[in-house]
Structure 1
Amino acid sequence: MQAMTLPLSQLFAPMLGIFAAMYLLAPTFPVARLWARVAVFIVVWLVVARYLEWRIFTTVLPASGTWYQVGWIWFCLFVELLTFTDQFILYLTFLRRTDRSSEADQHEHRLRSLPDDELPSVDVFIPTYDEPFEVLEKTITGALCLDYPNIHVWVLDDGRRPWLKELCEHKGAGYLTRADNLNAKAGNINHALTKTSGEFFAIFDADFVPQRNFLMRSMGFFADPKIGIVQIPHTFYNEDPMQANLGLHRGLPDEQRFFFDSIMPARDGWDGAFCCGSNSVTRRAALRAVGDALPTQSITEDILLTLVLLRKGYVTRYLHEPLAIGLAPESLDAFFVQRQRWARGAIQTLYLADGPLGPGLGLMHRLLFFPTHWLSLGLRALTVVVVPIVFMWTGLAPVVDVTPESVFYYLFPAILALNGGISWFAPHAHFPLAAQVSATIQSFKILPTVLGTLVKPTGHAFRVTPKGVAARCASYAAEIFWPSAALMALTVVGLVVNTIPEWRMIDHPAALPMVAFWSVVNIVVLFFVCMTSLQARMGRAEERFDFDESVLIETGTGERLSGRVSNISLSGAGVLLGAGIDCPRGGEPLRVHIAQVGWIDAMVVQRRGHLIGLQFHLPQSLERDLLIRKLFTVARLKGNGVIACSVNRAMLKNIWSMAAPLPHIVTTGAKPASLSPTVRLPAESLVIRPQPRIDDLAHLAGVRSLHPTSFTEPGCVS
């Protein structure tokens, strides 16, 4: 290796300069201003160009030796260049960005001023295959509550389940099925399009619950005739596998936030946002222009639909607001099923005339839709882990003529610049260590999928992402844990071996500090990969939401106690009783009155001082629907903001205004009617006064349900 002798002040000058520019000066720049984005872009890529000039002309071109030594050096450079290409496209994307909330405000005001019959009709599609009752119930309930007058909700059941048909009948939703499952989700939706006639159609995956004002916020954008699709971000109310398995839900955003919060608003600035399958609204006239059906040549029909419409002059508009919430993958198995499908579908588009390489697209759109991320993700992550292991065990170097001084002078400034720029463009959304852990985890499954699809682009089965109980079966991902543990062991032992002169495989002692630093970083990453592969125990069947609200408790003896809810779900709640109040005994049946819901049968299952844990007995009923509405309307979702949705808009539109404080119930002395067996009434027969008070729920609680209490999915635990 060539020695590089520079004074310390000159050696560290590039690093210190980049640190000052990217981490001290750049944060003072307004990211919304074009000149600031261009300035950061230029600085970052000048630094990267400086590094690449050194990397190619100093560490690669002088390489000599056997074919495999030279080949290994060029392979490592290829992976690095592929990564930089992906990063360059990302930085180009960040040069533009949009925030369309003010436009949505104007559109919503306009739509709400129109008579109901002047609003365009919308079919709401909920495609489903094997999702369980506890998942579908929330989505159907939320869709039926959409605050939009001219809609029809359709459940598209490719599982052909009688219990789901019965549920739809009692909820008031339409039910459609077909004889086969040809073309999976796209075929399911295409079948529904032949049976419906709405001017627009919205799609919600079976696990996404729309906010009440979803359509009022999104439909107005279609006043622009060039808008073919409006896409809303995917927001989640549960922890994804990395958050759950590492216990980092309070400090780490979910894995898709960087994409939906930073990348999609930037893509929208280039008119390059794309349909993400769920949480979208599509103009039926635009679809008619391309055959009145979703494309089925790729298993990611959403991206392909965007490209097909783009060639016809229709744009996908992105509104960055959490107007629908859903389930993040609940296990690594579910996560990989989802990501492998996305990766395979993206690679498939390369072989299609309607894909990014086909005619009719501009250069920027080709770059935006070229699947560089899927090509580089797994290859880069595995190479970063494997290269030092190969070097320590075989002496096969990935570069030539590199010294610790040159690493400080060229490599570290480039790393600081790239990460600093992304952190500036996407503040609070980019975490380099977490990103590396996530990329390494995905590389074990995604890289084989990408390579397999490049060789064989078609003929792969469509796998639905597991949801609910089915997604939480595995205790750990063995195919991730053991390879990661083996790589970590090889790294640790390789370090130890190379510290002993008699056993050392590295011919250049000066390289050992660099390899040691690199290896320590990899050990940390692989440790977190192993931890993430261990499935965290799911303590509850239903997600709990933090709450702070007064409740009234009635014991079996008729005594009434006041308390405050600390957390609540469809299956139970934690209630903090006031000082001096005797806690009900464990196992004691009681009733709880929750504002905007009514009386719920419950039982004490846990006691910790004045905090009691309640388990609800809440079969299919009006109260259950009201509780779904309440939870998914006012629950604060782990940093994702406030979400909203509910049930049966015709019946509940006015109930939402019932907000009188709970103590009013206590002072009236009126005892609510007992929770009697189900009284089955049609929704239109239930008369509700405008703006009723909360104690009017006493009457509603007596009307136990609009649905049969005996209804459950076979094997379902309510």
Structure 2
Amino acid sequence: MILDIPREAFWPLLALVGLLFLVKGAASDRLARVLLPAAIGLIVAHYLAWRFAATLDGPGITGLDHVFIHGFLAVELLALADGMILMLLLSRRRDNSADADRHERRLAATDPAALPAVDVFVATYNEPIEVLERTIVGALALDWPSVRVWVLDDGRRDWLRAWCARKGLGYLTRPDNRGAKAGNINAALRRTDAPFVLVLDADFVPRANFLRRTMGFFDDPRVGIVQAPHRFFNPDPMQQNLSVHRVLPDDQRLFFDVIMPARDAWNAAFCCGSNGVIRRAALAEVGGQLPTGSITEDMLLTLVLLRRGYVTRYLNETLALGLAPESTDAFFVQRARWARGAIQILYLRDGPFGPGLSLLHRLFFLPTHWLSGSLVQAAALIAPVLFMLTGIVPIANVGVPEVLMYQLPVVMGYMGALQILSRGAYHPLAAVVLSAFSAFRLLPAVLTTLIRPRGHAFRVTPKGRAAHGGGHDRLIVAGAGLLIVATTVGLVLNAVPDWRIVERAALIPVVAGWSVANAVVLLLVVVLAISRPPQRDEERFAMGDEPAAVVIGGTRRGGVLVDLSLTGALLRADGPCPARGDDRVTVEITGVPAIEASVVGLRPAGIALRFDAPDEAAREALIRRLFSEAHEPVTVAAPHESTVMVLLARLLLPAPRPA
């Protein structure tokens, strides 16, 4: 069959592959950022010329076909527009770490009394003490001469008031929860007065050097906000449920490590709700408070300040660690809020269509990602099923040659360019699976918000005990399972000549390949929708083999600390160690009071220890050691294996046991 395809059908694809290899091998990152967006623009123009000229009508196309064809085209156009906006965005990139180094040296040489005061707001609603404690202890350990930590409690909890009083913290509440998080912060702004405000979500623990690395950027009077990335010390639902920690970063890394540095280069970075320092004088120019017209008040604040000449500067460094969504339910609460808020902004005067913005800023603040992601994935999953079961075509006059010449170059070009421009942070199959997984629940939220932008309540992402849950997402499992069955039935029916529904024989190979790919994606979606409980109560942090000791039966043994958590440690003793399972020992760690522990395992890497309920002083010292210092969560180095192969293996093989 492949011998029947005209040779010219392969040339665009071969030329694209050659270009991608050439650019990937080039030493110049700037060359890639100029050449690839331009090349993708040409490929898209070539595709659209063919699409409009040859695929909207033809022999045997009915009125119902026309409805489907034009609907499918509209979704494609939205996806292509979103892709080209992203390509344009990624044509620039800014790295502010060198400036942060310079600012930090300048601040270190400045009289501490001359440095401005900072109010630290820890916004909370229903988070348990084990979540709040980490954040507050980390905030109290910030290396800055004048810091006041305020707990903004919209849960109005007496136990938290008493706990804050015992710790000497500021505790603020209000009579109602009007305006949700933005209203909570605005109430605190009226009762505090430091010239700068660091906003932290209840689960984000700042490192000690957070303010030392960020405050220097305010030397530029145009800077209204300095934003640091959201990084996490626990796996997100995709990493957890598919057990892909070794090969796949969390799903927000593409945004924070690739897209935000690009946005910053265009002065289009935005406040992300937590880990951002705000200049109070800039707020004073826009009414002294955060805008409340959207449930994503952070992005709206950026747009309001942008119109007054203030920019948000982005520093892509790990300055705080927080909790990724701990369950699929928590994941969808978070993403639905983001999607609804981004769409709500479209309807506001301060949104991207309002006055006072440049054309590029309007483009970069359009919520095209939220609009296109779920729609495109839903269309891609449903179109071949509908075609095979009814014969209604999504696109006219297409066979294998047209797919090779026009469609594959667009898909492969976009994915290949994004992989190169993201420096490998983009993983195509993982992105498609996550998009399909999200579409089942996010598409209704997107469509209802487009029709009714007002009246959507702000829902806090569950954290800690409230987020834990097992089982599976019944809606997604049922929906994906139904599509798999329908896809299989369609393939079987059209494989048997006497049962065939599709009359256009040229389309059968195309749709068959499309359907098989969809079936693989849907099977991975089903696996992703089945929750796997976390393997540990607390995540471990790598300690760089720092000196430590263990006292066993009155004998002190020196050694090194391999890793550490709030509930245990892995310690490698110097020389033979007489420890056995269930032995009681005393652990000595720098900066932490001695902790009683039990031996829970003897491993080649060392002695596995579980702490026996450390007291408050020891627990807070552990929090400072783990979160305030520059320690990273324990991760196994990614081997040289394909992400695609690891994901496909999850369909056939059990997930590996944790180390």
* Conserved? CA contact 1:604–1:615, under 8 Å: yes
Rounded to whole Å, the distance in 2 between the matches of 1:90 and 1:262 is 11
1:595 aligns with 2:590: yes
Question: Residue 554 of structure 1: SS of its match in structure 2?
Answer: strand
Report if the CA contact (8 A) 1:304-1:355 is conserved: yes
Structure 1 residue 639 displacement after superposition:
6.8
CA positional deviation for 1:314: 0.9
CA contact (8 A) 2:5 2:401 kept: no
| 2:279 aligned partner | 283
The equivalent of 2:506 in structure 1 is 510
How far residue 289 of structure 1 moved from its aligned partner, in angstroms, is 0.4
Q: How far apart are the structure 2 equivalents of 1:382 and 1:623?
A: 51
Structure 2 equivalent of residue 317 of structure 1: 313
Give the Cα–Cα distance (whole angstroms) in 2 for the partners of residues 470 and 585 of structure 1.
33
Aligned counterpart for 2:90 among listed residues 88, 91, 94: 94
Structure 2 counterpart of 1:613: 608
Identify the residue that residue 483 of structure 2 maps to in structure 1: 487
1:338 match: 334
2:422 equivalent to 1:417? no
CA shift digits 1:108-141 (9 cap, x unpaired) = 1111111111111110100000111111111001
Q: Is the 8 A contact 1:298 1:345 kept in 2?
A: yes
Please state how far the C-alpha of 1:46 moved relative to its aligned partner.
Answer: 0.7
**Of 367, 376, 383, which residue of structure 1 is paired with 2:363?**
367
Name the amino acid aligned to 2:313: R
CA distance in 1 between counterparts of 2:547 and 2:104 reads 33
In structure 2, distance between residues paired with 1:68 and 1:384: 18
Percent identity reads 49
**Partner Cα separation in structure 1 for residue 557 and residue 634 of structure 2:** 30
Q: Is the 8 Å Cα contact of residues 596 and 614 (structure 2) preserved in structure 1?
A: no
User: What residue number does 2:618 align with?
Assistant: 623
Tell me the CA shift for residue 613 of structure 1: 3.2
- The answer to whether residue 133 in structure 2 is matched with residue 137 in structure 1 is yes
- The aligned residue for residue 652 of structure 2 is none
Report if the CA contact (8 A) 2:547-2:560 is conserved: yes
Change (3 A) 1:325 1:506: same
TM-score, with structure 1 as normaliser: 0.85
Comparing 285-294 with 160-169, greater Cα deviation is found at: 160-169
Farther-moved stretch of structure 1 (475-484 vs 117-126): 475-484
- Separation in structure 1 between the aligned mates of residue 193 and residue 154 of structure 2, nearest angstrom: 20
Match 1:463 to one of 459, 474, 478: 459
Specify the alignment match of 1:552 in structure 2: 549
> Which residue in the other structure is 1:657 paired with?
none
Q: Cα RMSD (Å) of the superposition?
A: 2.1
Is residue 389–residue 494 contact of structure 1 (8 Å, CA) maintained in 2?
A: yes
Indicate which of 6, 9, 28 corresponds to 1:11.
9
Task: Give CA-to-partner distance per residue, 1:289-339, whole Å, 9 cap, x none.
Answer: 010011111111001111111111111111111111111111111010000
**Secondary structure of the equivalent of 1:553?**
strand
> Quick one: distance in 2 between partners of 1:51 and 1:398?
16
- Hey, what's the Cα distance between the residues in 1 that align with 2:23 and 2:348? 45
SS in 1 for 2:551: strand
User: What CA distance in whole angstroms lies between the structure 2 residues aligned with 1:143 and 1:411?
Assistant: 52
Q: Distance in 1 between matches of 2:118 and 2:567?
A: 33
Indicate conservation of the 8 Å contact 2:334/2:461, yes or no: yes
**CA shift for structure 1 position 277:** 0.5
Contact 1:378 1:442 in 2 (8 A): yes
Which residue of the partner structure matches residue 153 of structure 1?
149
| 1:427 maps onto 2:423 in alignment | yes
Q: In the alignment, is the contact (CA less than 8 A) between 2:344 and 2:449 conserved in 1?
A: yes
Q: Is the 8 A contact 2:470 2:533 kept in 1?
A: no
Question: Any residues of structure 2 matched to 1:671-682 within 5 Å, and which?
Answer: none
Deviations 1:50-79 (A, max 9, x none): 111111211114476433211001001110
Show the counterpart of 2:520: 524
Aligned with 1:307 (options 256, 279, 303): 303
| SS class of match (1:601) | strand
What do residues 534-569 of structure 1 show as CA deviations (whole Å, max 9, x unaligned)? 1112122211224434432223x4233345444321
Letter of the 1:117 partner, please give it. A
Pick from 537, 555, 561 the counterpart of residue 557 of structure 2.
Answer: 561
Q: How many residue pairs are counted as aligned between the two chains?
A: 635
After superposition, the Cα gap between the structure-2 partners of 1:609 and 1:199, relative to the gap in structure 1 and judged at 3 Å, is closer
Note if contact 1:64-1:70 (Cα within 8 Å) is conserved in structure 2: no
Do the aligned partners of 2:23 and 2:32 also contact (CA within 8 Å) in 1?
no
TM-score (norm 2): 0.93
Q: Distance in 2 between matches of 1:611 and 1:216?
A: 36
Tell me which residue corresponds to 1:71.
67
Partner residue in 2 for 1:28: 26
Matched position secondary structure for 1:408: helix
Q: Per the alignment, do residues 121 and 609 of structure 1 end up closer, same or farther by CA in structure 2, a change over 3 Å counting? A: closer
Do the aligned residues in 2 keep the contact of 1:268 with 1:317 (CA within 8 Å)? Answer: yes
State the Cα distance separating 1:12 from its structure 2 match.
Answer: 1.4
CA 6–37 in structure 1, closer or farther in 2 if over 3 Å, else same:
farther
| Amino acid in the other structure paired with 1:594 | I
Q: Which residue pairs with 2:641 in the alignment?
A: none
| Aligned equivalent of 1:405, options 401, 404, 416 | 401
Task: Choose which of 370, 378, 383 in structure 2 pairs with 1:382.
Answer: 378
Determine which of 562, 565, 571 is the counterpart of 2:567. Answer: 571
- Alignment correspondent of 1:710: none
Distance 2:50 2:472 in 1: 43
Relative to 1, partners in 2 of residues 1:516 and 1:221: Cα closer, same or farther, differing over 3 Å?
same
Q: Distance in 1 between matches of 2:483 and 2:447?
A: 22
Structure 1 match to 2:354: 358
8 Å CA contact 2:241–2:532 kept in 1: the answer is: yes
For residue 282 of structure 1, give the secondary structure of its aligned residue in structure 2. Answer: strand
- Check conservation: 2:597, 2:609, Cα contact below 8 A: yes
Q: Distance in 1 between matches of 2:340 and 2:630?
A: 38
Distance of 2:443 and 2:318 partners within structure 1: 31
Alignment correspondent of 2:344: 348
SS at match of 2:190: helix
Indicate if the aligned counterparts of 1:274 and 1:316 stay in contact, CA closer than 8 A.
yes
**Aligned equivalents of 2:615 and 2:177: distance in 1?**
30
Q: Which residue of structure 2 aligns with residue 213 of structure 1?
A: 209
Larger deviation, residues 382-391 vs 408-417: 408-417
Q: Which moved more, 1:121-130 or 1:491-500?
A: 491-500
Partners of 1:186 and 1:180 in 2: how far apart? 13
Letter paired with 2:549: L
Letter in structure 2 aligned against 1:24: L
**More displaced, 168-177 or 254-263?**
168-177
Following superposition, the deviation at residue 509 of structure 1 comes to: 2.5
2:423 matches 1:436: no
1:606 CA drift (Å): 4.0
1:325-371 deviations in Å (ceiling 9; x for gaps):
11111111101000000111111111111111111111111111111
SS in structure 2 opposite 1:195?
A: coil
**CA–CA distance in 1 between the matches of 2:634 and 2:70?**
45
Structure 1, gaps ≥5 residues long: 642-718
Structure 2: distance between partners of 1:50 and 1:5: 25
* Alpha-carbon shift at residue 608 of structure 1 (Å): 5.4
Q: Distance in 1 between matches of 2:221 and 2:563?
A: 46
Q: How does 1:167-316 map to 2 (within 5 A)?
A: 167-316=163-312
Task: Give distance in 2, aligned partners of 1:77 and 1:291.
Answer: 44
Letter in 2 for 1:623: A
Residue deviations 1:171-190 (CA, integer Å, cap 9, x gap): 33211111111111111101
Distance in 2 between residues matched to 1:8 and 1:594, nearest whole Å: 70
Moved more, 14-23 or 38-47: 38-47
- TM-aligned CA deviation for residue 577 of structure 1: 4.8
Structure whose alpha-carbon radius of gyration is higher: 1
User: Which amino acid letter does the alignment assign opposite residue 39 of structure 1?
Assistant: L
The alpha carbon displacement at 1:617 in A equals: 2.3
One-letter amino acid matched to 1:401? N
* Higher mean C-alpha deviation, range 246-255 or range 54-63: 54-63
Q: Could you tell me how far apart the structure 2 residues matched to 1:407 and 1:51 are? A: 10
